[in-house]
């Protein structure tokens, strides 16, 4: 018997495929449950220095609190001086925390001149406190609006804050980190950097851009110079920024996001800290995060044999499951169009 003129696979082929599938499933489970610590694990102590962009609120602030508890020095970069000082107070509120310094800086760069201010700030920070052991790129913002309702300026604005801001900080600190013997650089993409959703033509594009940036960067800098790149795909997270964003969010976007649930900022922060210390390339949360990371793995670097095998064996199955999500999203768009906003 033949389907599409292809011969039926033999019993041996079927059995082998089943065994490989089962083995990779077990390996994936082992990896998810036990999470073996990588050999590149970076331990932080009072002599360490960690720089966090967007460290005055949301996930960045939670990361700052977590790092500070190890006794390491934390430098947070953000625009608003009042928010920076409030954040410093909050971080240093608990005992045994390391020193915290704040630097007011606009990371929404778009040309050589505005990049220069970031580079100068980085040079100053490094000469004051030393090169960072980890750079967390958390500065970012979001605004959901369909293209037909948004100004063109939304696109360069989100690109400059989310994408160019991360490129600028990374480019400015990287040479210092390299000459200091290496470090970790975390790039914050988003679940919306793995799948495009209604209302996110500007936001998703900036977050997809970060994936391409991270993937290339990880090829330029890796274990050979002890610089490890991580890219995080945080889900919807309960932060002041998310709350602000929700006020104007299109109904379609909100309904789609409701299906994914809401994570607490400290949970997301812990995942980023752990992933960056381990030097893991891909950082995600929960079963849905793992599914999305596996099905969108593409040609990105793999963190383990288990990850590689589960991508090889499970991508087609996850793509199939993913169709049900997409069908749901289509229904939402249709329904809102029919019933009005
Ligand atoms: C910081 O995050 C790590 C995970 O990377 C976690 O084990 C630890 O408990 C956190 N520390 C604090 C003070 O939240």
Q: 15-73, pLDDT tens digit by residue?
A: 888 888 888 888 777 766 665 566 789 999 999 999 999 999 999 999 999 999 999 99
Residue nearest to atom 7 of ligand 1 (CA): 270
Cα–ligand 1 centroid distance for 270 (angstroms)? 6
Q: What is the pLDDT of residue 77?
A: 98
How many percent of the chain have pLDDT more than 90? 79
What Rg, from alpha-carbon coordinates, does the chain have?
Answer: 21
Which atom belonging to ligand 1 lies closest to the Cα atom of 273? 5
Half-sphere exposure for 229 (CA within 13 Å, toward CB): 25
Q: Bigger pLDDT: 2 or 80? A: 80
Would 105 be classed as within a structural domain? yes
Q: How far apart are CA 214 and CA 202, in angstroms?
A: 19
Give the CA-trace dihedral at 234, 235, 241, 245, to 10 degrees.
140
Cα–ligand 1 centroid distance for 66 (angstroms)? 6
Q: What is the pLDDT of residue 260?
A: 84
Would 230 be classed as within a structural domain? yes
Q: What is the pLDDT of residue 216?
A: 97
Would 11 be classed as within a structural domain? no
Q: What is the pLDDT of residue 129?
A: 97
Residue 126 has pLDDT above 70, yes or no: yes
Would 326 be classed as within a structural domain? yes
Which atom belonging to ligand 1 lies closest to the Cα atom of 269? 2
**CA 319 → CA 22, 228, 298, distances in Å?**
18, 29, 12
Residue nearest to atom 11 of ligand 1 (CA): 66
Cα–ligand 1 centroid distance for 287 (angstroms)? 21
Residue nearest to atom 1 of ligand 1 (CA): 66
Would 6 be classed as within a structural domain? no
Residue nearest to atom 3 of ligand 1 (CA): 270
DSSP state of 222: S
User: Which of 88, 145, 207, 277 is the catalytic position?
Assistant: 207
pLDDT range class, residue 195, cuts 50, 70, 90: very high
CATH number for 53? 3.40.50.720
- Average pLDDT over the chain reads 93
Q: What is the pLDDT of residue 34?
A: 61
Would 200 be classed as within a structural domain? yes
User: Which of 163, 200, 203, 281 is the catalytic position?
Assistant: 203
Q: How far apart are CA 116 and CA 7, in angstroms?
A: 63
The mean pLDDT of 238-260, rounded to a whole number, is: 90
pLDDT range class, residue 178, cuts 50, 70, 90: very high
Q: How far apart are CA 168 and CA 56, in angstroms?
A: 19
Residue nearest to atom 14 of ligand 1 (CA): 66
**In the chain, what are the helix, strand and coil shares in percent, each to the nearest 5?**
55, 10, 30
Mutation test residue for ligand 1: of 41, 270, 277, 283, the one with most atoms within 8 Å of CB: 270
Answer yes or no: 203 catalytic. yes
How many domains are there within the chain?
1
Strand ranges (E), the chain = 2-3, 6-7, 49-53, 73-78, 100-104, 134-137, 183-188, 227-232, 237-238, 263-264, 282-283
Residue 157 has pLDDT above 80, yes or no: yes
Residue 96 has pLDDT above 90, yes or no: no
* Structural domain that includes position 283: 39-339
Answer yes or no: 189 catalytic. yes
Would 15 be classed as within a structural domain? no
Q: Tokens in use for 281?
A: 């390339």
Q: What are phi and psi of 268, to 5 degrees?
A: -65, -40
Answer yes or no: 325 catalytic. no
Residue nearest to atom 2 of ligand 1 (CA): 270
pLDDT range class, residue 99, cuts 50, 70, 90: very high
Q: What is the pLDDT of residue 230?
A: 98
With a Cβ cut-off of 6 Å, ligand 1 is lined by: 66, 69, 270, 273-274
Q: How do residues 278-294 score in pLDDT, each as one tens digit?
A: 999 999 999 999 999 99
User: Which of 48, 142, 160, 189 is the catalytic position?
Assistant: 189
Mutation test residue for ligand 1: of 273, 277, 279, the one with most atoms within 8 Å of CB: 273
DSSP state of 191: G
Q: 0.75 cut: is pTM over it?
A: yes
Residue 334 has pLDDT above 90, yes or no: yes
SS3 label, residue 148: helix
Q: What is the pLDDT of residue 12?
A: 85
pLDDT range class, residue 5, cuts 50, 70, 90: low
Candidates 93, 96, 38; CA nearest to 230 is 38
Q: What is the pLDDT of residue 301?
A: 93
**CA 201 → CA 142, 148, 212, 243, 253, distances in Å?**
11, 10, 17, 20, 12
Would 110 be classed as within a structural domain? yes
Q: How do residues 291-307 score in pLDDT, each as one tens digit?
A: 999 999 999 999 988 88
């Amino acid at each position: 018997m033949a389907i599409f003129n292809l011969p039926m696979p033999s019993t041996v082929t079927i059995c082998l495929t089943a065994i490989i599938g089962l083995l990779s499933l077990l390996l994936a489970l082992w990896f998810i449950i036990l999470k073996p610590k990588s050999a590149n694990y970076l331990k932080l102590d009072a002599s360490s220095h960690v720089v966090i962009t967007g460290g005055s609120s949301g996930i960045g602030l939670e990361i700052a609190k977590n790092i500070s508890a190890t006794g390491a020095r934390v430098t947070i970069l953000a625009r608003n001086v009042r928010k920076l000082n409030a954040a410093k107070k909050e971080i240093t509120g608990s005992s045994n925390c390391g020193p915290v310094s704040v630097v007011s800086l606009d990371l929404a760069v778009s040309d050589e001149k505005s990049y220069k201010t970031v580079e100068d700030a980085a040079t100053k920070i490094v000469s004051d406190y030393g090169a960072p052991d980890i750079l967390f790129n958390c500065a970012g913002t979001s605004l959901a609006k369909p293209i037909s309702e948004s100004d063109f300026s939304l696109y360069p604005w989100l690109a400059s804050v989310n994408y160019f801001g991360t490129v600028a900080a990374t480019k400015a600190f990287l040479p210092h980190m390299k000459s200091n013997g290496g470090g970790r650089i975390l790039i914050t993409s988003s679940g919306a950097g793995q799948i495009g959703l209604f209302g996110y033509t500007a936001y998703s594009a900036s977050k997809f851009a970060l994936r391409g940036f991270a993937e290339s960067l990880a090829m330029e800098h890796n274990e050979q110079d002890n610089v490890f790149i991580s890219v995080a795909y945080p889900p919807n997270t309960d932060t002041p920024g998310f709350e602000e964003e929700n006020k104007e969010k299109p109904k379609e976007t909100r309904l789609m996001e409701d299906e994914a649930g809401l994570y607490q900022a400290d949970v997301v922060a812990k995942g980023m800290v752990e992933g960056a210390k381990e030097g893991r390339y891909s950082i995600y949360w929960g079963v849905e995060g793992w599914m999305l990371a596996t099905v969108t793995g593409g040609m990105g670097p793999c963190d383990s044999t288990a990850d590689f095998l589960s991508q090889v064996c499970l991508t087609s199955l996850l793509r199939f499951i993913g169709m049900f999500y997409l069908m749901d999203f289509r229904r939402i768009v249709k329904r809102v169009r029919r019933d009005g906003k």
